[in-house]
Amino acid sequence: GAGVSQSPRYKVTKRGQDVALRCDPISGHVSLYWYRQALGQGPEFLTYFNYEAQQDKSGLPNDRFSAERPEGSISTLTIQRTEQRDSAMYRCASSPGQPSPLHFGNGTRLTVT
Amino acid sequence: SQQGEEDPQALSIQEGENATMNCSYKTSINNLQWYRQNSGRGLVHLILIRSNEREKHSGRLRVTLDTSKKSSSLLITASRAADTASYFCATDELRQAGTALIFGKGTTLSVSS
């Protein structure tokens, strides 16, 4: 596609449920990043991939969070046993490589009730 | 973790005035980028400046980088109401494997007509 696509745009889930957030990067982009953004704050780094390899997951808050990019294209961020504090905008970005500008998707707004 | 820190947190100016935002960071970097975000929407890349560059221009934008002071500034000249947005600096932080782009908390710019 023309840009980075994230789905769903909005997700409301009950505490304790698992959620999977999807990111479809720009075709051919090597690097894929996941960020979390609270209202009024800057994007908080979670993890990133080069091709299918997860290069750094040190930004993932705890072991309930995981991400994968099995074929080096689409990525899924999974949050298990969601908690209210997980509520935020989750943003995905991709780039042709490093250093390059990041192209951001419109994000997934996650609300945990 | 957040590497860059923007200053001021908020800035209000009149149309036609210049806006200057500053970014300070902590560790050595290879490059620094500036992004704009309109009202909670996706982030848009503005400009990338490498560590061996001191100044870069793009249209009404001027970015400077002082690696000795670990700081950068973004100048928007002849501001317009459409420049109203949050502006973030992002630096590449050396991680365990490769580098990750880490964002600051941002400056909220309000341009009134």
Low-confidence ranges of chain B (pLDDT < 70): 1-4, 95-98
pLDDT, residue B98, reads 65
Q: What DSSP element (H or E) covers A57?
A: none
Q: Are B98 and B15 in contact (CB under 8 A)?
A: no
Low-confidence ranges of chain A (pLDDT < 70): 1
pLDDT, residue B69, reads 95
**Structure tokens given for B3:** 């590497």
Residue in A42, A58, A104 closest to B95 by CB: A58
For B32-42, the pLDDT digits (tens) are: 999 999 987 88
Nearest to A112 by CA among A10, A14, A7: A14
Judge residue B37's burial from the number of C-beta atoms within 10 Å of its C-beta, 0-12 exposed, 13-18 middle, 19 or more buried.
Answer: buried
User: What's the sign of the alpha-carbon dihedral A18, B43, B104, A31?
Assistant: positive
Q: Does B31 touch chain A (CB under 8 A)?
A: yes
pLDDT, residue A10, reads 98
Residue in B2, B33, B96 closest to A42 by CB: B2
pLDDT, residue B19, reads 97
pLDDT, residue B1, reads 46
Nearest to B4 by CA among B102, B107, B108: B102
pLDDT, residue B39, reads 85
User: Can you tell me whether residue A48 is helix, strand or coil?
Assistant: strand
Q: How many A-B residue pairs are in contact by the CB < 8 A criterion?
A: 69
